[in-house]
Structure 1
Amino acid sequence: MLHRKSLLKLMLSLLLAVSVLGACSRSTDAPAPKQVAEVGTVTVAPESQAVLTELPGRTVAYLTADIRPQISGIIQRRLFTEGANVKQGQALYQIDPAIYQAAYDSAKASLTRAEATLDASKLRAQRYTELNQIDAVSKQDNDDAQSVLRENMAALGVARAALKAAEINLGFTRITAPISGRVEASTVTPGALVVAQQSLAMTTIQKIDPIYVDVTQSSVDVLRLRREFTSGNIKAFGRDEVPVRLILEDGSVYPSQGKLKFNGLNVNSSTGVITLRAEFPNIDGILLPGMYVRAQLEQAVDETAILVPQKAVTRDVTGAATTLILNDAGKVERRTVTVERTVGSRWWVSAGLQAGDKVIVDGLQKIKEGDSARAVDMSTALSQK
């Protein structure tokens, strides 16, 4: 019993000693001052930036020609390879020329006869004129001779026109390409009967270098751009200076840049859109008529655009875009911003920031809103990446 009391007294003495030592330690140790965090910042500076508009579109052949016969006849030969490129004036089909050759020969013979008849009537009219001057023939006979001469001159003109028509029809038996381009499949084969001005095209030729891209833009967007132009917020490109880039169906970027050639003058009453047409080089034939593409048009320039690194912008729980800045008092401040789109590795901010703001881009994990921090300018380092 005495041993248990002694042990209890010893334990109480030890606890009292530990408490005294802890109190002394707390009274002598001063709290360590909080360190000011260093953060990397980028100072906002306006810069010139093209205002891109991305619009859906379709490729359209630069020129299109449906091949139809201008005379009736039987196809003798097809003179082209389907899917190949043909030159303007190249022969495509040969229609049996026998009937038209015979008509030409007949017209040529009629012309020869008309020329001979005219020569005879000229001599007769000349003699009657001379005889009439000495009253050797009656005036009526002379008038008749002169009338016959004029009739034969007219007949010669008719014969020449008939020969020309026969020559044209004979030429139409050989159907040639009216334009250069890529020829499609033939709808007729040798032995088929074709008729003049038939509705079914024998084939079609399309010129696809260069090629057009027709895109549509809503009238609402057009009005918005015009308001921005009027207010002076953005500067319009000249009509012949608007560059256009293409994004193909697989997401790849078309290597060649085009330019805007035509702005629609009317708004489609059913869709409320305006059609714009751009022209692109197509030397390799990558673009084919009817392809779906997305066109990026540089319709204007914002000379006071604000761009910040993408890592400086985050989203809060509501989905709003925010960024942290270091204000003039050296305090971390949160700003809600409006981002338009990405430009390379940066966000284009249209609202929430202004020139001179120090946007925090590095050390975000060490700070929170309201903390004090010291700025380390990283503008030069980021611009060299």
Structure 2
Amino acid sequence: MTRSQLNSGRKLQPLRAIAIAAAALALASCGSASDEGGKSRDRGPTAVSYVVVQPTSVPLVQSLPARVSAFEVSQVRPQVSGIVQKRYFTEGAFVRKGQTLYQIDPSQYQASVAQASANVRAAQASADSARALAARYRPLVEMEAVSKQDYTNAVSQARQAEAAIAQNQAALRAAQINLRFTRVPAPISGKIGISNVTEGALVTANQTDALTTITRLDPVNVDIQESASDLITLRQSLSSGGVAPTAAQVRLKLPDGSDYGFTGTVQFSEVIVDQNTGTVTLRARFPNPMSILLPGLFVTAQFSQAVDTTAFLVPQQAVSRDPKGAATLFVLGPGNRAVQRTVIATRTQGPYWVVTQGLAAGEKVIVEGAGNLRDGAQVKPSPAKGKAAPRPPLKVQPPAKTG
């Protein structure tokens, strides 16, 4: 063997060693893969946990747009004409019912009262004279000392005098009322707005512009807009059974997303559908001691008009969606096999899906370990921990009667 052949042989030896090592690694990896495959085939049933579901009472909670309106609004207008002498309130302050707001010059109306009072006294004097004349004629007509016609005229004049007294008394009362109207009182209690007139301004009894406006803000009304189709669906559900009416306690979310601290109660529902929006107005009443709710404010009302007494509360981790968007879950079937079930679950309540169709009382819903399950797979079940169990049924309250 030549020196060149020896050198080439020495160069091939490291390459052969590398090839042998690579082959050994490949064989080792194949062996480990086969071992893992064997182990995976020997894993056995998947361990899962389940909860036993029972029908419960679930409120049908809705979130609807709403708008705040004042409980009472009064536009203050003058009842008589005259010059405003004085304003007795501070703009933006709280005024009480009956409190004097403006004083209109009463001079003209005081004179009218004095004149009407004098007319009453004159009518009374005339009546006294007419009654006395009729009384004197009565015995004379019996003696035929005066004619019957004269006596009849005297009696008629006495009655006319009595009527004149009544007429003048009515005029006196009208004059006294007009005099009282020169003091403009607050018709309701509430926050008073801007004064549209100043001292010295001329106001008239028939003017269209209000002197000022008073708004009562505690309590307030909240007008909720509900779709007519939703209302019809609710009434059909109530008539078909399975859904019970309940007292509609309403909560509000303010425009900044925060919760309003007080609850309200639905007072009534309109009987006419708005032709422009296709909605029906429901009015709720809320306490408003801090004047947070202002007329015209848009809010979101959350309330329950009814309670579904046959729904199931299923933990959210148990429900998934198929490619078509349908809600599915696994229940524990015979022989400890997982059975995939399509259910109707259109809304959530806290940590639960509200399932209205697809489950029966007493079924075991798999809540843990269902991620890689297939329909009909063998499982090893165990009861879930307490946190996965649905909450107990709610008590159904009858709707409150409103007058």
TM-score, normalized by the shorter chain, greater than 0.5: yes
Distance (whole Å) between structure 2 residues aligned to residue 219 and residue 81 of structure 1 = 45
Distance (whole Å) between structure 2 residues aligned to residue 323 and residue 143 of structure 1 = 105
1:258 lines up with 2:243 in the alignment = no
1:290 lines up with 2:296 in the alignment = yes
Query: What displacement does 1:317 show?
Result: 5.6
- Superposition pairs of residues 147-296 of structure 1, within 5 angstroms: 147-237=156-246, 241-296=247-302
**Overall identity of the aligned pairs, in %:** 43
Query: What displacement does 1:99 show?
Result: 0.7
Retained in 1: the 8 A contact 2:94–2:192?
Answer: yes
Retained in 2: the 8 A contact 1:69–1:194?
Answer: yes
Distance (whole Å) between structure 2 residues aligned to residue 118 and residue 197 of structure 1 = 38
The amino acid of 1:202's aligned partner reads L
Query: What displacement does 1:105 show?
Result: 1.0
Unmatched runs of 5 consecutive residues or more in structure 1 = none
Retained in 2: the 8 A contact 1:43–1:379?
Answer: no
Query: What displacement does 1:281 show?
Result: 2.4
Distance (whole Å) between structure 2 residues aligned to residue 279 and residue 244 of structure 1 = 9
Distance (whole Å) between structure 2 residues aligned to residue 265 and residue 107 of structure 1 = 52
RMSD, matched Cα: 3.3
Which sits farther off after the overlay, 99-108 or 374-383?
Answer: 374-383
Number of paired residues?
Answer: 370
Distance (whole Å) between structure 2 residues aligned to residue 320 and residue 242 of structure 1 = 31
1:120 lines up with 2:129 in the alignment = yes
Question: What's the counterpart of residue 58 of structure 1?
Answer: 67
Query: What displacement does 1:84 show?
Result: 2.4
Question: What's the counterpart of residue 40 of structure 1?
Answer: 49
Question: What's the counterpart of residue 328 of structure 1?
Answer: 334
Instruction: Call closer, same or farther: CA 1:145–1:226 in 2, change over 3 Å.
Output: closer
Question: What's the counterpart of residue 387 of structure 2?
Answer: 381
Query: What displacement does 1:62 show?
Result: 2.0
Question: What's the counterpart of residue 110 of structure 2?
Answer: 101
Retained in 1: the 8 A contact 2:243–2:307?
Answer: yes
Query: What displacement does 1:205 show?
Result: 2.0
The amino acid of 2:111's aligned partner reads A
Distance (whole Å) between structure 1 residues aligned to residue 389 and residue 90 of structure 2 = 55
Distance (whole Å) between structure 2 residues aligned to residue 206 and residue 139 of structure 1 = 68
Question: What's the counterpart of residue 311 of structure 2?
Answer: 305
Query: What displacement does 1:377 show?
Result: 1.4
Question: What's the counterpart of residue 373 of structure 2?
Answer: 368
* Among 137, 147, 152, the residue aligned to 1:143: 152
TM-score scaled to structure 1, two decimals?
0.84
TM-score scaled to structure 2, two decimals?
0.80
The amino acid of 2:313's aligned partner reads L
Question: What's the counterpart of residue 81 of structure 2?
Answer: 72
1:90 lines up with 2:99 in the alignment = yes
Which sits farther off after the overlay, 315-324 or 374-383?
Answer: 315-324
Retained in 1: the 8 A contact 2:315–2:389?
Answer: no
Distance (whole Å) between structure 2 residues aligned to residue 271 and residue 381 of structure 1 = 44
Residues 35-62 of structure 1: CA deviation (Å, up to 9, x unaligned) = 5443332222221111123222212222
Instruction: Call closer, same or farther: CA 1:384–1:351 in 2, change over 3 Å.
Output: closer
Retained in 2: the 8 A contact 1:40–1:376?
Answer: yes
Distance (whole Å) between structure 2 residues aligned to residue 255 and residue 311 of structure 1 = 32
Retained in 2: the 8 A contact 1:218–1:274?
Answer: yes
Residues 263-320 of structure 1: CA deviation (Å, up to 9, x unaligned) = 2222223332222222222233222222212222322111111122223334456655
The amino acid of 1:293's aligned partner reads V
Residues 105-164 of structure 1: CA deviation (Å, up to 9, x unaligned) = 111111122222222322232223233333444444433332322222121111111100
Distance (whole Å) between structure 2 residues aligned to residue 166 and residue 378 of structure 1 = 85
Query: What displacement does 1:85 show?
Result: 2.4
Instruction: Call closer, same or farther: CA 1:223–1:141 in 2, change over 3 Å.
Output: closer
SS at match of 2:126: helix
Distance (whole Å) between structure 2 residues aligned to residue 345 and residue 233 of structure 1 = 23
